[in-house]
Amino acid sequence: MNQSRRVKQSIWQKLDPRSKLLLLLTIIMLVIKTDSWVLVLLSLLLFLLIHTSHLAVGFFAKVFLKFRWLILIIFMVNCCFNIALIDLTTKIGKAGMVAYKVYLLLLVAYWFNFVTTPFELINGIEHLLKPLSKLKLPVFDLTMHLTLVVKFIPEIIEIADNIIMAQRIRGVNPHNNWRRSMNWIKSTIIPVFIVGMRKTSQTAMVLEARGYRPGVPRTTIKVLKFTKMDYAIVFASLLSLLVILC
């Protein structure tokens, strides 16, 4: 995904993360609140967003196949527990509408993840929450914690995958016996925990060496600036939110 960003950047990847975050929230609200023909317009909007982001058409199928069981479970649960509707056709239609809304939410979430890097998102959240610092809320510390979480979660997952792969190469098959499964879990969690503690200690030393002090405002390499496109997106998003609320 990072390589795709470097090779061919779309217009959405160059925009301010604050406007993209507001657009994301607006689309989520529209998907949740609206029905029928408005969902068709939202589907067309998502298709345009994904097409202009230089994503392949197979992106739609990829998201659906990855979360097919979740979508199917939501569909079945709505079919079984929607007791108020007697007509079977209406019940299936309502369940399909809910499942389709979940699919649209997954699409827009994946699109936002593609066009916005985690650190851009954190930088945008920090700027959005900056007015709260006047109320003596630890906005800078909160964003620092988010940065560390975003940095460490992929590394911890990669370490766990490497340990599991190494155990499988050695012929460890925990599915045959529950006792072996418990030992397999312990032999996986404990090394991940130890490596996580080491990385935490190293990060604390780096922050101390660079003079980090809690509560002190920090500067960023990339200064966020709104363009005309950002202002247009913010205006359209706020207008859509007003229409939904009214």
Query: pLDDT digits over 109-133, tens only?
Result: 888 888 888 778 878 888 888 777 7
Q: What distance separates the 2 farthest-apart alpha carbons in the chain?
A: 68
Could you tell me the end-to-end alpha-carbon distance of the chain, in angstroms, rounded to an integer? 39
Q: How large is the average pLDDT for residues 98-102?
A: 89
Q: What is the pTM of this model?
A: 0.70
Evaluate if residue 187 carries a pLDDT over 80.
Answer: no
Do 116 and 145 fall within a single domain?
A: no
- In the chain, the number of structural domains is 2
Q: Can you give the residue range of the structural domain that contains 118?
A: 2-129+226-245
Alpha helices in 34-87 (DSSP H): 37-52, 58-66, 68-81
The DSSP secondary-structure symbol of 9 reads -
DSSP 224: P
Q: How far apart are CA 200 and CA 189, in angstroms?
A: 16
* 27-77 pLDDT, tens digit each: 888 888 877 777 888 888 888 888 888 888 788 888 888 888 888 888 888
What mean pLDDT is predicted for residues 150-156? 74
Given pLDDT bands bounded at 50, 70 and 90, which one contains residue 185?
A: low
Model confidence at 232: pLDDT above 80: yes
Same domain membership, residue 205 and residue 100: no
Cβ partners under 8 Å of residue 29, min gap 6:
240, 241, 244
Instruction: Say if residue 182's pLDDT is above 80.
Output: no
Would 218 be classed as within a structural domain?
Answer: no
Residue 26 lies in a domain: yes
Where residue 235 falls among pLDDT bands split at 50, 70, 90?
Answer: very high
- In a shared domain, residues 185 and 147: yes
Q: Please check whether residues 96 and 120 belong to one and the same domain.
A: yes
What's the whole-number mean pLDDT along residues 159-175?
A: 73
Q: What are the C-alpha distances in Å from 75 to residues 30, 42, 67, 92?
A: 20, 20, 12, 8
**Single-letter amino acid code for the residue at 168:** R
Within this chain, do residues 105 and 38 fall inside the same structural domain, yes or no? yes
Shared-domain flag, residues 24 and 120 = yes
